[in-house]
Structure 1
Amino acid sequence: MLIQNKIIQSVRDKCIADEFVSACMMYGSFTKGEGDQYSDVEFYIFIEDDKMEKFSSRHWVSEVYPIHLIFYNEFGTEVVIFSNMIRGEFHFLPVSKIEIIKSFKPTGLFPDPGSMYIYDSTEQLKPLLDDLGGVGPDRMTDENVNFAFNNFVNAWLMGVNVMRRGELARSLEALTLVQRYILQLIRVKENTVERWLNSTKNLEEDISTESYKDYVSITSKLKENEIELAYKNALNIVEALNEMLGSLYKVDVDKDLISKLYSYLNE
């Protein structure tokens, strides 16, 4: 039995026993049939409104399973490093905000909403989770494809400019954005857009060998010649994607703009 399953069961047991907790749901890999020994455990836990001031999330989580570290990340999520090096993410909210679950629908596909259910004393959670089911958002649209092309140009130009200034570390950071938008376009081309927001997840299995080689060609060490080659390769890949997808979707980026980017790179 995976230790994550023991932690999940411990969270469920604690929710049932704790009068402060009104409802709890899980999200992430274990709700999509993808959980393994390296996966995180992730929860939304809803607390009685009048008990929020007295509620200690740190104390609560530490009673679920021994922890080494607990802190808030830059997104306001409470992150836990358990003693066995498993990561956890916890969102503790007043139960009056339980309808935040409705906002999850546009973020992706939820193949098994029933697996997200942990505990509920309000009779509100199950209907909210059921509404997450069905077909996920349509990613293969003019808007999304145009978004990826446009943001590629922005990230690519910024990365090339800071590279020329000698800010190689910053250029390498911009390259990660270039990679993100290229992967989104590749996923559109290959119809693997379920992971649109987390485009590198399961990449080794989701995209073709040829596209994976393209992705490898736009990675780099912190060396100027490698970074420059990655930006050149990125432009080559986007040119091919533009030729293919530009005939299927309405996009702002055209051959003339790509030609200008080539000229700019060769100056």
Structure 2
Amino acid sequence: MLPQEHLIARVVELCRADDRLDAVLQYGSFPQGSADEHSDIEFWLFTSARIDAAEWCARIAPITHHVRNEFGADVVFFAGLVRGEFHFARDIAQVREWPARGASVDRMIVLDRSGALRAELDEVPLHPTLPAAAEVCGRFANWLVLAHHVRARGEMLRAADTMAYVRRHLLWMARLAEGATDHWLTPSRLAERELSPRVRIDVRTPEAAWRTGRALWLELNCPVPEALFAELDAALT
């Protein structure tokens, strides 16, 4: 067993013994069946009680650090740099707002005292609804033009930050072109395995990104905004 699987078994044991918890679900690569030795363990725990997250997680196994991340989740680190992400929340109904669940309901549910969690998860699609290719291409152009301008202004760090969004949209474009949409919500996940060697996502410069994006745009047979293409060709080639 992986170290993470021992930790997951302990989480399940603690959840079932904790009367303060109304429902608990596991998400991510373990319920999806794609986990490996580098995977996190990830849970949502629903409760109306006040729970000290660091103290609760330390009952799983000794932790080396605890931090509340920018999305409100409690992140802890176990021995071996195993990362655990725990969302303590009140409203089970918020699950219905997820774009997709990514795994079967039975594999996700750890605890469901009232049946409310299953009812909500059953309403969440297994896979996300994909946007139209033209929409993804347009958003790629949006981030690319912004990166071009901030770099020209001399804001190199901001340009690098913006290029991360350019890369994400290039990955989405490549996934649509190749029909490799299983990891749509995190398009960089396993991209090296799931995209063919012909795909070269180069975002070292806006010029390189435009070469890749232009080719993918045409491959996807999306409507071409001729005036925009002409200006991008002039500025970035």
- The two structures have a TM-score, normalised by structure 2, of 0.91
Tell me how far 1:201 sits from its aligned partner: 0.2
Where does residue 138 of structure 1 map in the other structure?
129
- Matched residue, 2:149: 161
State the 1:25 CA deviation.
0.5
Contact (CA 8 Å) 2:173, 2:217: kept in 1 or not?
A: no
Greater fraction helix: 1
Unaligned runs of 5+ in 2: none
SS of 1:198's equivalent in the other structure is coil
1:99 aligns to 2:99 (yes or no): no
For 1:1-267, list aligned pairs within 5 A: 1-47=1-47, 49=48, 51-52=49-50, 55-94=51-90, 97-104=91-98, 106=99, 108=100, 110-132=102-124, 134=126, 136-139=127-130, 141-142=131-132, 145-211=133-199, 214-215=200-201, 218-220=202-204, 230-246=205-221, 249=222, 251=223, 253-265=224-236
Q: How much does 1:109 deviate?
A: 5.5
The TM-score, its normalising length taken from structure 1, stands at 0.82
| Cα shift readout 1:23-54 (whole Å, capped 9, x = no counterpart) | 1100000011111111000000011x2x33xx
Separation (CA, whole Å) in 2 of partners of 1:76 and 1:59: 17
**Shift of residue 128, structure 1, vs aligned partner:** 3.0
The 8 Å contact of residues 24 and 120 in structure 1, kept in 2 or not, is answered as: yes
Task: Report the aligned-residue RMSD.
Answer: 1.9
Give distance in 1, aligned partners of 2:45 and 2:103. 21
Are the aligned partners of 2:16 and 2:111 in contact in 1 as well (CA < 8 Å)? Answer: yes
Unmatched 5+ stretches in structure 1: 221-229
**2:182 match: secondary structure:** helix
How far apart in 2 are the matches of 1:44 and 1:90? 6
Q: Which amino acid aligns with 2:76?
A: V
Distance 2:226 2:58 in 1: 57
Tell me how far 1:233 sits from its aligned partner: 2.1
State the one-letter code of the partner of 2:139: N
Q: How many residues align?
A: 237
* % identical equivalent positions: 29
Q: 1:43 is paired with a residue of what secondary structure? A: strand
Alpha-carbon deviations, 1:97-136, whole Å to 9, x = none?
11222122x2x362422111112222222333344465x2
Q: Secondary structure at the match of 2:35?
A: coil
Q: For 1:202 and 1:257, locate their aligned partners in 2 and report how far apart those are by CA, in whole Å.
A: 32
Q: What is the aligned partner in structure 2 of residue 226 from structure 1?
A: none
The one-letter amino acid of 1:60's match is: W
* Structure 2 letter corresponding to 1:258: F
Letter in 1 for 2:115: E
In 2, distance between residues paired with 1:109 and 1:13?
Answer: 23
Distance (whole Å) between structure 2 residues aligned to residue 130 and residue 70 of structure 1: 32
Shift of 1:204: 1.0
